[in-house]
Amino acid sequence: MRNRRLVLWTAALAGYAFLYVPLVIVIAYSFNNSRLNAEWVGFTLQWYDTLFHDENMLVAAGNSLAIALVASLVSTVLGTAAGVAMYRYPARLLSVLVLAPIAIPEILMGVSLLIFFVLLNFTLGLVSVALAHIAFCIGFVAIVVRARLAGMDETLTEAARDCGASPWNTFRYITLPLIMPGVIAGALMAFTLSIDDFVITFFTAGAGTVTLPLQIYSMIKIAVTPEVNAVSSLLMLLTLALIILASKISPTLLRSE
Amino acid sequence: MTRIIALLASLLVAAPVLAKDAFHLYNWNNYIAPETIKRFEDFCKCDVVQTYYSDNEELLAKLAAGAKGYDMLVPTSNAVQALIKGGQLKPIDKSQLTNLKNINPIYLDTAFDPGNKYSVPYAMSTTIIGYNDQKMKELGLPTDTWAVIFDPKYLEKVKGRVTVLDSSSELFAAALKYLGYSANDVDPKHWDEAAALIKKAKPYWAAFNASSYIKELTVGNIWLVHGYSNDIFQANLDAKAAGRPFQILQGMPKEGAVLAVDNMVIHKDAPRPDLALKFMNFMLEGKNSSELTNLIGSGNPNMDAVKYIKPEILKNPAIFPDKAVEAKLEQLKDLTGPQRRLRNKLWTEIKAGR
Amino acid sequence: MSVVAARTGSRLGRWLVSGPPTLYLIVFFAVPSLIMVLASFRTPGEFGGLAPLVEEGKLDLNLESYARFFSESVYAQIFLKSFWYALLTTLLCLALAYPLASLIARSSKRYRDLLLLLVILPFWSNFLIRVYAWMIILGPNAALAKTVNGVLAWFGHEPVPLLFSAFAVLVCLVYVHLPFMVLPLYANLEKHDLALLDAAQDLGANAWQRFWRITFPLSLPGVYAGAALVFIPAFGIFAIPDILGGPDDSLIGNVIKQQFLETRDWPFGSVLSIVLTVTALVLAGLAAWVARRNLGAPSSAKESRA
């Protein structure tokens, strides 16, 4: 018994190490006294100072956060609905519609959405980017929710219906708590995808819209300075804080009993 | 700190409505000095809203799909050619450009924009060789010829320590120049020769890289690159700042190289072409134009800027080449559709290792 | 399941649930994509983009771009290479993610959410920085490369570059896609009833048997979901080979990107993209079909009742 747990723990810890060694470098290098993200030279706080005076970078970070929050919220709602629909009903069209945005090359989706928005005379800006992000995030949520639903015990829902509960109440009090880990997993993935998207955002952003990835990628040919490490570290911290705050405010919402 | 909170709060209102006039500049990142922007904002009493691209092709793709809202763009000459032919640009009212006389005439009235109806030169760079001077001396390699990038007898000594640009037009241009042809040669037989040359040299190269090679050069992982003069200039500054024992120097190949002139143009659907013209004229002033050169070591077509440029930059032959070298520099021309397709087929085969 | 659906699924309920996502995806995905599907039959514009659809009163549609794809075998070759990279990435992700997801699923509720967040936290930093961090780790002068090459030197082997190589691309691919395998696996493993395992142990099953005959089959939906969310995006990726790939590591995503940018041949880019999408969807469909056939083990009380 103890051996098995030890093996599991070691393997899992190796996984965490794999995830975190690069992150430690990212955070450490935000204090690096060198313009390049290549070698450790010395300790400095200058990049955080630069960041707090860099309006463009801060606006870009704010835009990214706002878009990611909206996109992950909407795509989680729509994706959960899609996942439930794919599980309950034979939804062939929906299955394809949900999977295809994941498969299609981002550059194709970006160009096609741009052409689409231009045809509709839709002004490009934060909204166009959010709409695009939702489109490719829905699939991720739907697939996870559907996988969570697979093999779910239907007796509970049947019992609820037999007791006279409406479909909505059945969903809200029985199904939703049961699939909540899947919904949360999907929401986390959607948020991650949105906050880091470059290609689709590049094509659907308006003339004054900058998100963090756009700002950072444009620096790729000159130098991605440690200021970027600084803004990334702070963004991670901020997001973590937001989530912890949200879970404190509505503990029952996120817990799955 | 309160500024930041106010900033983030105002984002919730989404739409980028600015109280002052807004001038939308779509430019390469770090291709204008911050002081210059500030001075222009004071001068025109407007806000400069910058968005960035890192490649001409990104700009072309976005505009071809119909993107709007930009006033001024800063494409390289071959991209200007494509934009003019695609009807994407607004003609310039030259009567408002009082400072146009500052530009060196050899950069005006070019083949891709006769009479400068649409464009005005902004800054230049060359695509040359960058190298770690310590390593090159150690290994006894020449630094003034493309042979060191293409010839296996030199490449053997630097195997795995060389990168080339990930751009078919730039690499083919270098190969064609090395073979003695023009960089704009479109003869398929010559292209086959160039492709063969590249394939022979490829096993010795570490990567096709247009983004992180400068970093690797400065750190000392890579010793020799095919790269842009601005980037190499910057790498040397970084190497000095990091206290490295070597310098990163620019090598102008004797067979010639590609000259990239970036130009200011106005998009046909520009919301504020008047501000764009103001900006153009502003940047044609020597002092304003010099600030970019002093910042990133870019070439400068503005004669009036010379007196404001740092002397060590003026003396650098890769940034301000003498007449003999200038004669060997060529600007890239845009290719026709079928030519682009053939070039891409050859490029894909090279990349696929066939 | 159909019995349940007949009882619980009224027509209105069905439209309310499947309607909004379907509608959204039709408007913001299907329609724009159809524009590009149409583009694959058109001629490239001389200076970029597309040539006019109606040329001299005639509809200008052709199969040229498709013919090009099928006649030049280099594209199929690159497709195959991308397939192998994506497959390897998926398998490696699965191997790494399974212990992680198991650990999180089995943790007490107090720590579970935190552990889950810890998995995804690194991915809220910018992609580029993370790749640069890997360039530092894999650099020729860093500890890892020196150790590996030191060992190789022992055996008289030439030093091997860790950076700008297929190895670097794979490591980064696995790294970037790992959370998309961990999260679906976790969502599935979390609901496993440990009582089943206890019962099996009481009946004499050892640890490996418990895993292979109970846990793994029950987790298959999660495995397939994770595999889909890793394989499909990895199939079309281009950024990682661009930044730290070697000269031979160009993948189909890079070729597609070139069509839209350098070559400005949108029809051909669309053709490649369509082939990529269709291949990925077909593979996903195949995997789902295999999964349905393999799901013979009772996966719920309801099925075992039947």
Task: List the chains bordering chain C where 3 or more Cβ pairs fall under 8 Å.
Answer: A, B
- B86 to chain C, any CB pair closer than 8 A? The answer is yes
Q: What is the pLDDT of residue B14?
A: 44
- Determine the Cα–Cα distance for residues C167 and C240; give it in Å rounded to an integer: 12
Say if B20 is an interface residue toward chain A (CB within 8 Å): no
CA distances from B211 to A34, A226, B250 (A): 18, 16, 18
Q: Residue C10 has which token pair? A: 């009224």
User: Which residues from C are below 8 Å from A79, CB to CB?
Assistant: 21
pLDDT over 50 (residue C299): no
Q: C141 CA to chain B: closest CA distance, Å?
A: 7
Report chain B's mean pLDDT, rounded to a whole number: 89
Say which residue, A150 or B186, is predicted with more confidence.
Answer: B186
Q: Are C265 and B341 in contact (CB < 8 Å)?
A: yes
Distance CA B234, CA B218 (A): 9
The verdict on C250 touching B (C-beta cutoff 8 Å) is yes
Global pTM value? 0.88
Can you give the pLDDT at residue C300?
38
Can you tell me the mean pLDDT for B74-91?
A: 93
| Residue predicted with more confidence, A243 or B217 | B217
CATH of domain B19-124+261-320: 3.40.190.10
Q: What is the pLDDT of residues B137-153, one digit of tens each?
A: 999 999 999 999 999 99
All domains in chain A, ordered by first residue:
54-209+249-254 (1.10.3720.10)
Question: What interface predicted TM-score (ipTM) does this complex get?
Answer: 0.87
The full set of domain ranges for chain B reads: 19-124+261-320, 125-258+333-352
Q: So what's the pLDDT on residue A223?
A: 74
Contacts of A98 in chain C (CB under 8 A): 21, 25
* Residue in B2, B8, B38, B237 to test binding to A, most A beta-carbons within 10 Å: B8
CB contact under 8 A, A115 and B65: yes
Nearest to A140 by CA among B143, B271, C229, B4: C229
Q: Do A41 and B242 touch (CB under 8 A)?
A: yes
The arithmetic mean of pLDDT across residues B220-246, rounded, is 90
Q: Average pLDDT in the B173-201 region?
A: 95
* Mean pLDDT across C93-99: 93
B chain contacts of residue C243, beta-carbon cutoff 8 Å: 209, 211-212
Q: B116 touching C, CB under 8 A?
A: no
For residue C62, the model assigns a pLDDT of 82
Measured in residues, chain C has a length of: 306
Extract the tokens encoding B292: 């970019």
Q: Does C163 touch chain B (CB under 8 A)?
A: yes
Query: Would the CB atoms of A125 and B24 count as touching at under 8 Å?
Result: no
pLDDT of residue A250: 63
How close B66 gets to chain A, by Cα (Å)?
A: 6
Binned at pLDDT 50, 70 and 90, residue C115 comes out as confident
Q: Is the per-residue pLDDT at C1 higher than 50?
A: no
What pLDDT, on the 0 to 100 scale, is given for residue A251?
Answer: 59
As a whole-number percent, the residues of chain B with pLDDT over 90 amount to 70
Residue B15 and residue A130 in contact, taking contact as beta carbons nearer than 8 Å: no
Q: What is the mean pLDDT of residues B318-323?
A: 86
Q: Which of A108, A154, A195 is the best substitution to test chain C (most C C-beta atoms within 10 A)?
A: A108
Fold of B125-258+333-352: D-Maltodextrin-Binding Protein; domain 2 (3.40.190)
Quick one: average pLDDT of B256-281?
A: 94
Of residues C284 and B347, more confidently modeled: B347
pLDDT digits (tens, 9 = 90+) for B114-132: 999 999 999 999 999 999 9
Q: Label residue B3 by pLDDT band (50, 70, 90).
A: low
- Is 50 exceeded by the pLDDT of residue B13? no
Burial of C197 (0-12, 13-18, 19+ CB in 10 A): middle
Kindly report, residue by residue over C118-161, the tens digit of the pLDDT.
898 999 888 988 998 999 899 888 888 888 888 888 888 888 88
Inform me whether the C-beta atom of residue B96 falls under 8 Å from chain A C-beta atoms: no
What is the reported pLDDT for A4? 66
Q: Kindly report which listed range (A205-219, B109-123, B204-218, C287-301) carries the lowest average pLDDT score.
A: C287-301
Mean pLDDT in chain C?
Answer: 84
Are residues B206 and C161, on separate chains, in Cβ contact within 8 Å? yes
pLDDT at C306: 36
Of the candidates C33, C117, C187, the beta carbon closest to that of A181 is on C187
Give me the tens of pLDDT residue by residue for chain A, a chain 257 residues long. Answer: 566 678 888 888 889 999 999 999 999 999 988 877 777 888 899 999 999 998 888 999 999 999 999 999 999 999 999 999 988 887 888 988 998 999 888 889 999 999 999 989 888 889 999 999 999 999 999 999 988 888 677 787 788 888 888 878 888 888 888 888 889 889 999 999 999 999 999 999 988 889 999 988 888 777 788 888 999 899 888 888 888 887 777 655 555 43
Least confident of A153-167, B69-83, C110-124: A153-167
Q: Give the pLDDT band (50/70/90) at residue B18.
A: very low
| Domains of chain C and any CATH numbers | 73-305 (1.10.3720.10)
B210 touches chain A (CB under 8 A): yes
DSSP state of A130: H
Q: CA–CA separation, A229 vs B213, rounded Å?
A: 19
Instruction: Say yes or no to pLDDT of C9 above 60.
Output: no
Check CB contact under 8 Å for B7 and A52: no
